[in-house]
Amino acid sequence: MRARLGDRSLFSRLEVPIYLDHAAVSPASDPVLEAMTDAMQAGARLGIGAMHSWLEGSERARSNVASLLGVPSEEVALTGNTSQGVTAVARGLDWQPGDRIVLFRGEFPANVTPWLLAASDFGLEVRWAEAEAFRLDPEAALAELEPLLEGARLVAVSAVQFQTGFAMPLEAIGQACRRHGAELFVDAIQGLGLLPLSADLPIDYLAAGGHKWLMGPLGTGILWARPERWTELRPHHASWLSHQDGLSFLMEGEGLLRYDRPLRTGPASIEGGVANATGHAALAASVGLLLELGLPAIEEHVGRWVDALELGLLERGFTSARVAHGRSGILSVKPAEGDVLGLAGHLRERGASVSTPDGWLRFAPHWPNALDEVPTLLDAIDRG
């Protein structure tokens, strides 16, 4: 069966009638479940004999994600989650005491905590910008960012803010960073798999987890960096599999066990031990479906779904966080009256899976969501 926009037949086990929590955790489609089960079964049947097919699964995940990003596979590392990618850079750069980093208030903590730890361990100076200011008045926010960038070494920002769904102006922020010689790190977990995030943007690093818009399993993720950035990173996570010819002592006879083999640079420098091969097989399958459907078509479909719900909610007096200058797959709203938590509970009772991050009522549909879910949701709200 092929994937079709607005058709959840490939999610045959999904029990939630209207699933709108792709910004939290995507449900597993049948191909994802099958890919993971196949990889587990290969291990059950063959043990170490499954290694070849496991490695193939990991390489498929890497190359599928690389296709989404429009980069060569060799520039993509497979990680366990977003945080691991953030940490690899936060602890891998050759920091000098007093180096300045710029962080954003309002960001999800995964793109703040590792930087603050690095700041305290390496003596970095932290400057704060306001993520919300970019949603409310992007030109003023960019003007306020400029002085923070003077002398800055790195800026860390999310592609899409987790609570409002606001897609940050990465092009403009990246251009400003380049003017000031600062590197730009992007936490892309709330956009990758829907928005056209690619190496064409003026960004240096991009990290994401697999379980939201990429629709893969928990415990998978990626870190992309430009080739020249990879060479600058200290191999902080390096281990036995990071060495050149690191496997020879296991396969090629006696006397080859050594600890001084040079470390490989690039993604291998942070992929130190055996990988989450079953997770990667599943991630390869979920991203394979995204590639099959095509991100522009998915983005248009999700946009139509969100437009329809937003219109209905505005007519009912809701306030929407969505703005024309930064749309994503997330629609976050607040009702004119009544509490958000109560309303979310009401919707869940009526079969809609929604979230309430930081006090917003968040809807996050993806390619399997059908447009006819919208009137059902509005009806559930009217009956509230």
Ligand X SMILES: Cc1ncc(COP(=O)(O)O)c(C=O)c1O
Which positions touch ligand X (CB under 6 A)? 81-83, 108, 110-111, 158, 162, 187, 189-190, 209, 221
Quick one: DSSP state of residue 74?
G
3-class state of residue 231 by DSSP = helix
- The CB-of-291 to ligand X minimum distance in angstroms stands at 21
Residues 6+ apart with CB under 8 A from 187: 82, 86, 107, 108, 110, 111, 156, 157, 158, 159, 207, 208
Residues 6+ apart with CB under 8 A from 342: none
- The CB-of-115 to ligand X minimum distance in angstroms stands at 13
- The CB-of-296 to ligand X minimum distance in angstroms stands at 23
Contact 31, 285 (CB under 8 A): yes
Distance from C-alpha of 205 to C-alpha of 170, rounded to nearest angstrom: 12
Q: Smaller CB distance to ligand X: residue 42 or 82?
A: 82
Task: Please state, in angstroms and as integers, the Cα–Cα distance from residue 295 to each residue in 167, 195, 241, 280, 292, following that order.
Answer: 16, 7, 34, 20, 9
Q: Could you tell me whether strands 352-353 and 331-334 are parallel, antiparallel, or unpaired per DSSP bridges?
A: unpaired
Q: Smaller CB distance to ligand X: residue 81 or 269?
A: 81
Q: Smaller CB distance to ligand X: residue 243 or 366?
A: 366
Which runs of consecutive H residues, i.e. helices, occur in 233-274?
248-251
| Structure tokens, 180 | 């000031």
Distance from C-alpha of 149 to C-alpha of 139, rounded to nearest angstrom: 16
Q: Smaller CB distance to ligand X: residue 86 or 277?
A: 86
| Structure tokens, 288 | 């394979």
Residues 6+ apart with CB under 8 A from 328: 160, 165, 166, 167, 190, 191, 194, 195
Q: What are phi and psi of 157, to 5 degrees?
A: -145, 155
Q: Smaller CB distance to ligand X: residue 155 or 374?
A: 155
Q: Smaller CB distance to ligand X: residue 11 or 104?
A: 104
- The CB-of-82 to ligand X minimum distance in angstroms stands at 3
Cβ-closest residue to ligand X?
Answer: 209
Q: Smaller CB distance to ligand X: residue 42 or 129?
A: 129
- The CB-of-9 to ligand X minimum distance in angstroms stands at 28
| Structure tokens, 78 | 């497979």
- The CB-of-111 to ligand X minimum distance in angstroms stands at 6
Q: Smaller CB distance to ligand X: residue 135 or 243?
A: 135
- Return the ∠ at Cα 58 (arms to 263 and 287), rounded to 5°: 130
- The CB-of-90 to ligand X minimum distance in angstroms stands at 12
- The CB-of-209 to ligand X minimum distance in angstroms stands at 3
